[in-house]
Each structure stands twice: as C-alpha cells, then as structure tokens.
A and B are shown apart, each in its own frame.
Chain A
Amino acid sequence: MLAVREINLFYQHQPVLQGIDLDIFQGEILCLLGASGCGKTSLLRVIAGLEQPDAGDVLVNGHSVLDVPVHARDFGLMFQDFALFPHLNVAGNVTFGLRMHGISHPLQQERLREVLALVGLAGFEERDVTRLSGGERQRVALARSLAPSPRLLMLDEPLGSLDAQLRERLVIELRTIIKQAGVTAIYVTHDQREAFAIADRVAVMNAGRIQQIGTPEVIYRHPASVFVSRFLGLNNVLPVMSHHAGIVETAVGEFAVPGEPAAVLLHPDSLSLVNDTSERLTISGVVVERVFSGREYQLALALVTGEKLTFTISAHNGTGIPAVGDSLTAQIDPALVIPLADR
C-alpha cells in the first residue's frame, strides 16, 4: 500500500535518515522501534509530508505523494502530545477533519458517534478537552485521527506521555480499535514490549537506518545484528574469534552456525539444566545472581573464561534451581545459538 524508497534526510548537515526502504501492506500494523533520536519520528514526518526528504520517494499504491501537500495526503497522524485543539470541545476536535473534507453535518454527527463509541468515549461530545484525563485525551486524539477514515494512520509514541500501568492496558485496546477500524497503521515507539504487543511487523531503527524488519517473533528469536540483540535486552553476545567450515570459535567454546557472523547470541532461553543428550554444548560457571520473577528464574553465570551470561529457567523446571555461589554445568540448545551481523 505504502512504499518508502531510498529516503535520505539531513538536518543542519547531519544525516537523520539514510537510505530508508520500507513497504507497508494493506491492513497491517507496522511498528518503528528505536531509541530516541534514531530517526523514527522524522520518518513519520516525511511520510506525513511535514518534512521534505533530501532524496528518495514516498509512494501510495505506486504513485509518488512527495508533491502532495500535507493537507491533501489523506493520512492520519496522532501526535505524542496529542495536539488537541484547546479551543474546541471533544466533538469539535473529532469532526475537524470531516469539516475540512466538506462532509455534511448529519454525516459528521453520525461519524462522530461512531468513532467515539469505537474508542469508548460515547457521550463525551460536549466535554472540554482541557479538562480530560491523560487516557481520555489519548482516546480523543485517536478518534480525531480515525474520524476522516485516513488511508494510513500514523501514531507517534501515542502512549509515551501516560503512566506505565495505563500504557499496558491501553496498548492492547489500541490494537483492537485499529484492527476494528481496519486501517493500515504505522506505530512509533521506543518501548519493545509495546511494539511486540501491537505490531504485526516490527522495524528496528538505529542512527537513521532500519536494522531489521520482521514479525515480533522473528525479531525476538532471531535478531539479525549485535545492535538489535542488545537493543532487545539480549545481552549474551559473544564475539566470534575465528570461523572455519560452519564452526565459529568464541571465548566460551565452539558453535555450529551458518555463515560468517561477527558474533553469536546465546539466547536466554537456550540453557537447559537437564543432562539429556551429549550433542548439546555444555558451559560451566558459578551462579552469581538468582532473581525469581514468578513464572521463571533469571540466573547469571560467571563463566570460568570470565564472561557473565544471563539465562531464564522456567520455575516449573522440576529439578532444583541452583543457588547463588553454586557451581553449575549445563547444556546450551544449539538451535538457540543465533548468528549476529556486526552493526
């Protein structure tokens, strides 16, 4: 539906976006995930038409929209600060886009009731937007963006200014609403949990580039690079010292992985305390931390070679969980040793 091709953007001679290529399919929710300053908001603004790129193109169904001014692009954008119009009430805010599109008054009212019901604010028409709670303002902003039925809905950290508890509840609701509205959406966030909860596909960004695009499961199970791995909090990254015929050598030992990776990730789920097959690789070390979090334990191992690796073990493991100070020899599942590119 939307295609972004080779977008470059400079701000005061500093590159902000470098060679961005991206396809968004009809009806999907794509999430741009990255730390602040990585360029994800700038990319959103380029797509919306609020910034002109220095190179590249933005295409909707194969036609370039670069020369279409912001107000004629027929996109929706929900801002992080919501940017509600303080001089209009809830109804005035939500119907603003409909008015700008010349929709008749009765149809405006019908759509208003429809989207307010969709976001769970039925009956809020006459309320003053400056007197709403954070969560309510967020819903009004969402209803306002959805009301004109945009071809594409963009959400810029829409939960960023809300507190953590509210955020967890709203993110699931947000996905339900977007899916019910059947709108194609780009969702920008720096929060990995939020991204995984809402997105059909996630694009991880860093320093103006897209590092990896894929479903949340693929991104989490198979991070493509050292950056993505560490960004997701998967820190068991071991630099590759040498590789030879499908075997790479690290400080911890040798692993059979394809290609010529710069590093390998020992996925936190890869540790098994059960001594079942000899095929598995063993590592030994001393438990230095043990954190219980309900359904699982986090164990930090200090290896004899000096590295510190962290693994999660199911609390229903059946065997005893080693205590801090215990020596441990355990197996690594070779399927969860992930090759990482250097970047």
Chain B
Amino acid sequence: MDTGVDRSRSPLTRLVNLRYGLLLVPLVFLAVFFFYPLISILGVSLAPEGQLNLGAFTALITSSYYRDTLVFTTVQALLSTLLTIGLALPGAYIFVRYQFPGKSLLMALATLPFVLPTVVVAAAFSALIGPRGLLNTGLMSLFSLDTPPVQLDRTLAIILIVHVFYNYAVALRLISGYWANQNPRMEEAARVLGAHGWRLWWTIRLPLLRPAVLAAAMLVFIFTFTSFGVVLILGGPRFATLEVEIYRQATGLFNLPVAGALALVQIVFMFALMVVYTRLQKRITTDIQRAEYVALPPRSRRAKLMIGLNLVMMVVLLFAPLLALVIRSFTAGDSGWTLAYYQRLTVNTRQSLLFVPPAQAISNSLVFAGITTLLALTLGLITAYLLSRRNLPLVRWLDPLFMLPLAASAVTLGFGFIIALDSPPLNLRASPLLIPLAHTLVAMPFVVRSVLPALRAIPPTVQEAASVLGASPWRVWRWIDLPLISRGLAVGATFAFTVSMGEFGASLFVVRPDTPTIPVAIFRLLSQPGAANYGQALALSVILMIVSAVGFVFIERLRTAGIGEF
C-alpha cells in the first residue's frame, strides 16, 4: 500500500542513493570476478615472485617459438577472414538481388552455426571428414582401404574450413543487410556509363560495400584470432593460437609467467581490434540509405546457376557436418545402426578419464546453466535498469565498462580465475561455483543487451502515468516495467542458458575433474582412443547441439514476434 505522505525534504535524493546502492552489486561482481583476475594475470606475468621480472616478456620476444605462435594466430585468422568474405560476398549478392524459394528460412538457419558450441562443431567436422568420420569410413569400406583416404585431421585446412563454417552467416548477414539498404540507382548509373562484369564489382560494388565488408572482416578476424576449441581439438599438437598456447603453458607446463604474458598480449590485441570494430560499426549504421533493392526472381541461366552454386555450397558447408554428426552418433563401425553410444552415457567405465558416467556431465551442465541463468539475469537486470536511467550521472561511461568481459577471451577469463581465486582472500579453487561464476561473466553482457533496448523503449510517460495513478516506484517497476521487458528477459535468460551449456574455454580451466560439463566431457572423450569413447563424444555432442538449437529457435521466435507488437 501507499507509504502515505513522505515528509523527507527530498525524496529524489533518496531514490538516487538507492540506485547507487543497487549499482554496487554488479560493480562488485565485476571487480572481484573480472578485474581482480585480470590484475592477477598482470601480476603473475610481470612479477611472478613478487618482484618485477620481465623474463616472461623477454622470452616472448626472443623465442622464435612464441613469435611463430603469434604469426600463426594472425595468419590463420587472415586466411579464415579472406575465405569467409570471399564466399559470403557472392552469397550476399544472390540474397540481395534474387527472390527464390526458401530464402528467408535459409537465412535464419544459416545463423545456427554461430550459436553452436565449439566442441559440437569440432565433433561434427570430425564426424564428417575426420579419420573416423563418415566420409573416410564410407570410402574405406567402398574401396576396401586400410587407411583413411582423406587426411584433413590436424591440418590447417580443417581449421580454416571450420572457421568459415562458423563465420559465413555473420559475414553474409552484415554485408547483405548493408547492401539491401543501398541506393540501386548508383549501380544503374555506372552501368549506363559503361561498367559491367568485373569492372562493376571493382569500381562500384566493392567500394560502396567497403564499410560493411571491413566491419564483417574485422568481426571474423576477431573471432578467429581468439579461436580456441577448434584449434585445440582439430589442430592437434602442431598448431597453436595464442589461446591454445595460454592453455598449454598454464595447465600442461605450469609456466604461469609466460601464460600471463601471452594473455596480456591477447588482451591488448583484443581491445585494439574491438575499438576498430566499434568505429567501423558506427559508420555502417550512420550511412545507411533508405532506398532498397527489390529482390526479383532470377531470369537468366547464369543467375540461376549462380544461385544454385551458392545454395549447394551453403547447404554442404553448413548442414553436412551437423547431419554427419547425427548419423555417425547412431552408426557402430560397420555393423549398422545402434543406440549403444547413447546407452553407454550412463555407464561409468573403469578406464574412463571422467571419473563419472558421461550422463553426469549432462546434469552438471544443467545445474551450472541454471545457476548461471539466475546470476546473469539478476546482475544483468540490475545493470540494464541502471543503464536505462540516462539522467543518473556516471551512467554514460559505465555502459562500456559492463561490456568489457565480452572483449576478454574465455581462456583469459578461465586462466585469471585459477590464478586469482585459488588463494586467500578468495579461495574458490575447490568450489564448483567457479564454473557458473565464469559463465555469468560471459553471459551477463548478453542479458544486458537483450533487456536494455526493451527498457529504453518504454515511453517515460507510461511510467509517469502509472505514478500519477498511485503506483509507487517499486510498483511501477513491478507492474509496468517488468511485464513490458518480459520478452527481452526471456531472450536474455535463453542466451545465458545456452551460452553456459556450450561454454568451453573458461570451463576447461576451472572445471574440477569429477564435475565435468558437457563440452569438457566431449573434449576428454574425443581425445581418447577407442570407438566407444568417440561414439559417446558424438552422442553427447548431438544432445548439446539439440539444446543449443532449441535455444536458438526460441530466441529467434521471441525476437521476430516482438516486431510490430507495440
């Protein structure tokens, strides 16, 4: 009920104070679980024994091994970017220009890979073209071969293919979205002036698309530069990106100073790349024009051929691995269909490196994802609520602060956790809580990004109307704001849940041997010999893929349903 007449001189001041109190909750969380680990990384790399010692950094510069790691990280990222953009450009062209059946469904489905966990994707490609994959087992039984004929495992090629798989849709969406908003008259003018064929691409289309192509390239570069799971699982010992090297130095060789130094290099690169990307993205959103290409059905044979080629490429690239994963998880060597891999998930075999039956990983992941969702939702909601009050001072520069965890890679986060939180004052090393805490850092920005636009879209007069009708600030929040952002909250919760279910890099660091998550279990099973382990890895991957896909469909439906509702 009403608090009645409030006689304190300034009710506004008290409200502002209350909000600052609330602000402390997410700030303290960030300070303890993000900045403190980052500072610990700085400490361990610059002063491993408590005194300034630049040995680790000197090693990075002088050792050709670390230089090669940096070079490889950059080169594979560049190659992946070039390949992705090269394939996405013609794809964007047909999506902007032509109308063909199944177009919007394909565009929506093409985004699916982006939400799939890296271990699932690695397992899927392994199931398709790995030594034990469908392609090789099929060819071997067909031609009675003793060794797998397709040797892509542990090559640069398979890393690049998987990177294209991951990022193709991102580039396609960015470029075609920008292109569709461009004024078609410019191109028509160029054609009237005599440009055609390749000259049209070089003189008009590419220069006009430059901002979108650059932004897409930058994004793909950022994603592939920080690639971890794909390289670790499919690359074998020969290849290491910075992320993989941090993991190996920290957990395999216990060389913490070097791991810390590598993590610092990684952070510096990431921040620089993020700054450039943010600028590019701003340019894209500002110079969008309001003219739109009208997509027409293809008429010439060349157009039909081009559409056909692109569609075949998309379907093969994006869906063949996922299909192979499902099929292979039900295939027992050469004895046909089997459910054995799924049945064995509940069995704790003696030689298992998991200590627990793989099915235990499923319940672990569900519990961790549940806690993560709760934590991320609570912290994200508070953060979004405060960020939506633009009139509160300080808020403007807090916005980027809460996005910072997105810029740090998961491996860096995990590494920071184990060196910062395993000794007093905060000894959480033995606590299973570390996993949801790390996942919350990754998931919270997604929650903020889903809720904040919904909160900002509420007209202030709607809240004022509720106030005038007798609703106290708390009741305005409960009866007006909360129902109006429920859709955004559901999206944020789903994001948090799926992110937690699939998170691999940070989990690998902080997981305890006897409480593995699904991705960690898949990784361990994949790295073991034996058909049974392999089959179980694929079975777990299928389960995780279904969880992610359901989450993805749910998010897409909530989002599209939101358009035009109010």
Which A residues form the contact surface with B (CB < 8 A)?
48, 50, 52, 67-77, 79-81, 83-87, 96-97, 100-102, 130, 144-145, 148
CB distance from A335 to the nearest CB of B (A): 46
Q: How far is the CA of A197 from the CA of B249 in the complex (A)?
A: 83
Name the distance in Å between A48's Cβ and chain B's nearest Cβ.
6
A50 near B483 with CB under 8 A, answer: no
- Nearest A residue to B11 via CB reads A69
Q: Which residue of the partner chain, among A52, A81, A97, A130, contacts B461 with CB atoms under 8 Å?
A: A81
Q: Are A72 and B3 in contact (CB under 8 A)?
A: yes
CA distance A153 to B39 in the complex (A): 58
Q: Are A72 and B468 in contact (CB under 8 A)?
A: no
Cα-based distance from A83 to B458 in the complex (angstroms)? 10
User: Besides the contacts A68-B5, A72-B5, A130-B566, what 16 more A-B pairs have beta carbons closer than 8 Å?
Assistant: A67-B8, A69-B11, A70-B467, A71-B469, A72-B2, A72-B3, A76-B468, A76-B469, A79-B465, A80-B461, A81-B459, A86-B565, A86-B566, A87-B484, A100-B471, A102-B1
Task: Tell me whether A144 and B467 are in contact (CB under 8 A).
Answer: no
Q: How far is the CA of A96 from the CA of B476 in the complex (A)?
A: 11
Known: A52-B12, A77-B468, A79-B465. A71 touches B566 (CB 8 A): no
- Contact between B470 and A74 (Cβ–Cβ < 8 Å)? yes
30 example contacts (A-B, Cβ-Cβ < 8 A) are as follows A48-B468, A52-B12, A67-B5, A67-B7, A68-B6, A69-B6, A69-B11, A70-B464, A71-B468, A71-B470, A71-B475, A72-B3, A72-B470, A77-B465, A79-B461, A81-B459, A83-B461, A83-B464, A84-B462, A85-B462, A85-B465, A86-B565, A86-B566, A96-B479, A97-B470, A100-B466, A100-B470, A100-B475, A101-B470, A148-B470
B469 touches A67 (CB 8 A): no
A102 to B469, CA, bound (A): 12
451-505 of chain B: CB within 8 A of chain A: 459, 461-462, 464-473, 475, 479-480, 483-484
- Check if A71 sits within 8 Å of B461, measured CB to CB: no
Assess A71 versus B467: contact at CB under 8 Å? Given A83-B459, A85-B480: yes
Minimum CB distance partner of A76 in chain B: B468
CB contact between B468 and one of A75, A81, A86, A87 (< 8 Å): that residue: A75
With a cutoff of 8 Å between Cβ atoms, the chain B residues found around residue A79 in the complex are 461, 464-465
> Contacts of A101 on B, CB cut-off 8 Å?
2, 470
Which residue of chain A lies nearest to B472 when distances are taken between CB atoms in the complex? A71
Provide the residues of chain A in CB contact with B565, threshold 8 Å: 86, 130
Residues of B within 8 A of A73 (CB): 468
Contacts of A74 in B (CB 8 A): 470
B4 at the A/B interface (Cβ < 8 Å)?
yes
Please tell me if the beta carbons of B469 and A100 are within 8 angstroms of each other in the complex. Answer: yes
Q: Does B301 have its Cβ within 8 Å of any Cβ on chain A?
A: no
Question: How far apart sit A24 and B2, CA to CA, in the bound complex (Å)?
Answer: 27
Chain B CB within 10 Å, residue with most, of A73, A79, A87, A101: A87
Question: Which of A73, A81, A86 is most buried by chain B, counting CB atoms within 10 A of its CB?
Answer: A86
> Does B299 interact with chain A (Cβ within 8 Å)?
no
Bound state CA distance, A102 and B470, in angstroms?
10
As a 0/1 sequence over residues 1 to 26 of chain B, the CB contacts with chain A under 8 angstroms (1 = contact) are 11111111101100000000000000
Docked Cα-Cα span, A101 to B7, in Å, equals 20
Could you give, for residues 523-566 of chain B, a 1 whenever the CB lies within 8 Å of some chain A CB and a 0 otherwise?
00000000000000000000000000000000000000000011
Q: Is the CB of A72 within 8 A of B461?
A: no
Contact of A86 with B484 at beta-carbon distance under 8 Å, contacts A67-B5, A68-B6, A72-B6 already known: yes
Q: Once bound together, how far apart are the Cα atoms of A111 and B462, in whole Å?
A: 22
* Assembled-state Cα–Cα distance A73/B468 (Å): 8
B11: chain A residues within 8 A (beta carbon):
67, 69
- In order of increasing CB-CB distance, the 9 nearest A-B pairs are A97-B469, A100-B470, A83-B461, A83-B465, A86-B566, A70-B467, A77-B468, A87-B483, A79-B461
How far apart are the CA atoms of A79 and B472 in the complex, in Å? 19
Q: Which residues of A contact B480 (CB under 8 A)?
A: 85
Q: How far is the CA of A44 from the CA of B254 in the complex (A)?
A: 69
Q: Quick check: B459 and A71 within 8 Å, CB to CB?
A: no
The answer to whether B464 touches A67, judged by C-beta atoms less than 8 angstroms apart, is no
Q: Report Cα–Cα, A75/B464, bound state, in Å.
A: 12
Q: Provide the residues of chain B in CB contact with A72, threshold 8 Å.
A: 2-6, 470
- Which chain B residues lie closer than 8 Å to A87 at the CB level? 483-484
* Residues of the B chain whose Cβ atoms lie less than 8 Å from the Cβ of A96: 466, 469, 471, 479
Contacts of A102 in B (CB 8 A): 1
Residues of A within 8 A of B468 (CB): 48, 50, 70-71, 73, 75-77
Most buried by A among B8, B470, B479: B470
List A contacts of B461 (CB < 8 A): 79-81, 83
Q: Kindly provide the distance from the CB of A52 to the nearest chain B CB, expressed in whole angstroms.
A: 7
| B2 contacts across to A, CB distance below 8 A | 71-72, 101
Return chain A residues, CB-CB under 8 Å to B566.
86, 130
A77, B468: Cα distance in complex, Å: 7
Residues of B within 8 A of A83 (CB): 459, 461-462, 464-465
Question: For A130, what are the chain B residues with a Cβ–Cβ distance below 8 Å?
Answer: 565-566
CB distance from A133 to the nearest CB of B (A): 16
In the complex, what distance in Å separates the CA atom of A183 from the CA atom of B418? 68
Q: How far is the CB of A116 from chain B (nearest CB, A)?
A: 16
Instruction: Please state if A144 and B469 are interface contacts (CB–CB under 8 Å).
Output: yes
